[in-house]
Amino acid sequence: MSKIRLGIIFGGQSSEHEVSRMSAFNVFNAIDREKYEPVMIGITKNTGEWLIYEGPIEAVYDGSWQEKAEADLLQYPERFALSLMGNTGRQLRDIIDFALPILHGRNGEDGTVQGLFELIGLPYGGCSVAPSALAMDKTLAKEAFRGAGINQTPYIAFNAWEICPELEARINAELRYPVFIKPVNMGSSIGITKVKDPADLRAALEFAAQYDSKLLAEQGVDARELEVAVMGYRTPKAYEVGELVLGAEFYDYDDKYTNGVSKQLVPAPIDAELREKIMRLAENCYAALGCDGYARVDFMMDRQTGELMINEINSIPGFTKISMFPMLVQSTGIKYGEIVDMIVEMGLERHSYTKKLD
């Protein structure tokens, strides 16, 4: 059997570009070389250009890959010029057999890149277009969860151009403080403010509006944050529940990536019955968005009442060695490299099924 040319797509025009590089570095090092021939394809942060990268993998980790890839492109255009679609140059679909997008946030996790792979007929790893787009749009995801009867914290969805004193009055009347104001389409807590005092509401709304035109106000919950790794093409399977113990006021960008003050507990210190309940609930949430690859399903559990609420689904969760998703799956005895095998198998299965439908 010939090796699968596995395109590891990393970087991207996203605030989570750096995390993506670290994840891609780990994936590259972990995959089974008997099965795969990795092809690194980086998307630049500044212009969103796709570049073939051939060189030491450490450069993907430290960011210097881009310089090398750009130099190679200038020097050997016939080898490095890459065309995503069209009729000229080296075509993406001719240089890889399978695309594994390890991209977070906009233009990567949101169905756009998945749509490109569909258009050019390339099998790919992770959720397909619709669930990716739903998971990325926090408001649409909430509507889908509501449709499936899944419990969540009270919220109000609105547009940036609707910010006015009446909207503020509605938030104050319908939601209990603290209130979280969020842009609908970001990740890594960017643009989010925890508002404790109604006097600070306006500033939080205007801040979030810098990141997206669709916004959300959510009732704050004094919660434990429980996260579940789920995988499955047709039948979702939850692997394990983990807990995030926060260092800062809430889980913000610094906390996630730089401070290291928050702790990840794998598995979460909860009893067997609750664990079972959360895992089944996570599978239902995954199915509610039509997820068909893998995802991390994040819950909040009220510290006082024990009430469980879905917070969000990440359709391409962090994939570094110390990220919650791989740690959860690994805790069940599956190796990091085997997670990639499972993702590839599901993507191939989906591809052959949808091809039959054409």
Ligand X SMILES: Nc1ncnc2c1ncn2[C@@H]1O[C@H](COP(=O)(O)OP(=O)(O)O)[C@@H](O)[C@H]1O
Contact residues for ligand X, defined by CB under 6 A: 153, 180, 182, 186-189, 192, 218, 220-221, 223, 225, 250-251, 298, 300, 311-312
Q: How far is the CB of 184 from ligand X (least distance, A)?
A: 10
Q: How far is the CB of 286 from ligand X (least distance, A)?
A: 16
Q: How far is the CB of 80 from ligand X (least distance, A)?
A: 35
Judged by CB, which is closer to ligand X: 97, or 109? Answer: 109
Contact, 265 vs 240, CB < 8 A?
A: no
Judged by CB, which is closer to ligand X: 21, or 104? Answer: 104
The helix/strand/coil state of 25 is helix
Tokens of 77: 């255009």
95 HSE (CA, 13 A, CB side) = 23
Name the residue whose CB lies closest to ligand X.
Answer: 251
Q: How far is the CB of 289 from ligand X (least distance, A)?
A: 14
Selection from 272, 186, 279, 268 nearest residue 224 by Cα: 268
Judged by CB, which is closer to ligand X: 96, or 300? Answer: 300
Judged by CB, which is closer to ligand X: 40, or 186? Answer: 186
Judged by CB, which is closer to ligand X: 61, or 207? Answer: 207
d(CA 216, CA 157): 5
Q: How far is the CB of 96 from ligand X (least distance, A)?
A: 29
Contacts of the segment 346-354: beta carbons below 8 A, 24+ positions apart: 346/125, 346/231, 346/232, 346/233, 346/292, 346/293, 346/294, 347/98, 347/100, 347/123, 347/124, 347/125, 347/126, 347/293, 348/98, 348/123, 349/233, 350/123, 350/128, 350/233, 350/292, 350/293, 351/123, 351/124
Q: How far is the CB of 101 from ligand X (least distance, A)?
A: 18
Judged by CB, which is closer to ligand X: 131, or 187? Answer: 187
